[in-house]
Structure 1
Amino acid sequence: MEKLNYRELVKKVIQQHASEQSEADANKVQIVFDTERDRYLLLY
């Protein structure tokens, strides 16, 4: 069975969401990843 890497999965989902939002809106989107503490931030 393949081992899940939740950090990579979360980052991928956030990046996909950010790219969809930046295409739909004129607003700039920024992503902040703190991989040491597993904190993720999406800024509009």
Structure 2
Amino acid sequence: MNNHNQTNGFVRYLYYIFILLLLFFMYGFSDANAGAYIYTEF
């Protein structure tokens, strides 16, 4: 049972990392002056 919980947590961790990377690549983080980026409003 403990091994199943560790595997589930690891898969969830990879899932969130994948979502974060997908958002970064969608909005582009190489150019800070790219326009509609989440931190340009601040």
Q: Could you tell me the TM-score, scaled by structure 1's length?
A: 0.47
> Higher relative contact order by CA 8 Å / sep ≥ 6: 1 or 2?
1
Q: Which has the higher strand share?
A: 1
Q: Could you tell me the TM-score, scaled by structure 2's length?
A: 0.49
